[in-house]
Amino acid sequence: MTRALNTLTNLFPLWVVVFSALALLQRDWFSWFLPLITPGLAIIMLGMGITLTFDDFRRVLQTPRPIALGVAAQFCLMPFLGWALAHGLALQNVNPGFAAGLILVACCPGGTASNVVCYLARAHVALSVSMTMCSTFAAIACTPLLTKWLAGQLVEVNLLKLFLDTLIVVAPVGIGLALKQMFPRAVKSIEPAAPLVAVAVIVLIVAAIIELRADAIKQHWRTLLLAVCLLHGFAFALGHLCARIFGYGPLIRRTVSIEVGMQNSGLGTHLATHNPGFGSAAATPCALSAVMHCIFGSFCAALWRRDSERLKEDAPGDTLSSS
């Protein structure tokens, strides 16, 4: 049973691509999920929380440098990359919401999909989990502030509402962690299914938004696809380059690359749809981002998995304790 759940979870990139393609047909297959986006994200974050342990927090204290590098790259490189691409491609001339949405998703933390891709790539899964956890908590302040700063001239950004919406979505991580400590047996029985539930919810969120915005995607698909592909292509490359500059070995480089390159697009979609100042178009780049970062991540995982056997964990620059 556990093996079947893992197999279905590991096919996450495939589910995103297939369901997104179906959503473009506009058959009203996924619009029913639109009112459930917020509770769906809460379930994802709760699922993240019940998979965390205090060992994850101890790992942050014991090996802070590679984790800090990943989180810093997430909130220093990505937001400005999103801003530069939005203005460089003049997305605001097409629709200010497209530009704001690209910046918004670039300001979001790493998503749980990065942990799945790190597993497929045979990179440092524990390091990826720690980076995702830290960037998620940091997002409570970083995502609203950076979005207000970088997108505030394009659309109306209500900083307080953005902060509260981010807090409401992220809070279930702490609740999930608390539940695991108080009811370990009950949580242990449902924990194996948590990743697959998260995958299903993310797929439905992306499909619902793509179905809703199918006309705009079909009309501006070249511009939107170029923007999102450049965002994640550069993100994967810059994450890898940063880790290399700091002297880390291949496994950590790959982990940082995946973590920086894969955003919590579901959070971006939620924030875009629940803040009217962004406009209805802002959720479109967020939904496309979820599709493209899965494709990029899957390609990297397949490429890196081939030579993972010859890379030893104790290779120079790849041991976390020495960092």
Average pLDDT, the chain: 86
Mean pLDDT of 147-166: 90
Alpha carbon of 228 to those of 100, 118, 201, 234: distances in Å? 13, 21, 21, 10
In a domain, 311, yes or no: no
Look at the chain and count its residues: 323
In a domain, 166, yes or no: yes
Does the global pTM surpass 0.75?
yes
Question: Contact, 271 vs 106, CB < 8 A?
Answer: no
Tokens (6 digits) for 321: 């304790």
Question: Contact, 132 vs 138, CB < 8 A?
Answer: no
What is the pLDDT at residue 115?
A: 81
In a domain, 22, yes or no: no
Highest mean pLDDT: which range of 136-145, 191-200, 272-281: 136-145
In a domain, 14, yes or no: no
What is the pLDDT at residue 90?
A: 93
DSSP-assigned letter for residue 29: S
In a domain, 315, yes or no: no
What is the pLDDT at residue 254?
A: 93
In a domain, 24, yes or no: no
Residue pLDDT, tens place only, 196-210: 888 888 888 888 888
Q: Which residue has the higher pLDDT, 69 or 3?
A: 69
What is the pLDDT at residue 322?
A: 43
In a domain, 243, yes or no: yes
* % of the chain surpassing 90 pLDDT: 32
Mean pLDDT of 58-75: 87
What is the pLDDT at residue 313?
A: 47
The total number of structural domains that make up the chain: 1
Nearest to 131 by CA among 305, 293, 4, 255: 255
Nearest to 202 by CA among 26, 2, 37: 37
d(CA 182, CA 112): 24
In a domain, 134, yes or no: yes
Residue pLDDT, tens place only, 93-122: 999 999 999 999 999 998 878 887 887 788
Residue pLDDT, tens place only, 274-288: 888 888 889 899 989
CATH number of the domain bearing residue 190:
1.20.1530.20
For residue 168, give its domain range. Answer: 2-9+30-304
